[in-house]
């Protein structure tokens, strides 16, 4: 696999340039509004379906999930956040 001709060469960038390249808040126009919308909708969803939040599935403190059942026999979406 070859590197695209216009790909940035991270080895030649200083720390500020590398940090800026990973800053989605700067790279995505309106990102603050997008994130605020996610937070608003998440708050609303949690308020509507609070019975199954923070359920333990294992012995460790962070072994918890939120289960939001929207409809009987509805589809299931599993989202596993891997961090960033």
Confidence (pLDDT) at 84: 60
Question: DSSP letter string over 5-34?
Answer: TT---GGGS-HHHHHHHT-HHHHSTTHHHH
Contact 64, 57 (CB under 8 A): yes
Confidence (pLDDT) at 78: 78
Residues in the chain: 84
Regarding pTM above 0.95, the answer is: no
| pLDDT by residue, tens only, the chain of 84 residues | 676 777 888 899 999 999 988 888 888 899 999 999 999 999 998 898 888 888 898 999 989 888 887 788 888 877 777 666
Contact 52, 44 (CB under 8 A): no
Confidence (pLDDT) at 80: 74
Classify residue 49 by its DSSP letter: T
Confidence (pLDDT) at 40: 97
Contact 64, 53 (CB under 8 A): no
């Amino acid at each position: 696999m070859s590197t695209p001709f216009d790909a940035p060469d991270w080895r030649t960038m200083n720390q500020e340039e590398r940090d800026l390249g990973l800053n989605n808040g700067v790279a995505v126009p309106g990102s603050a509004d997008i994130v605020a919308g996610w937070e608003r909708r998440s708050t609303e969803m949690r308020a509507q379906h609070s019975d199954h939040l923070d359920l333990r599935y294992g012995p460790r403190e962070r072994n918890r999930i939120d289960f939001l059942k929207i409809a009987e026999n509805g589809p299931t979406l599993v989202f596993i956040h891997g961090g960033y």
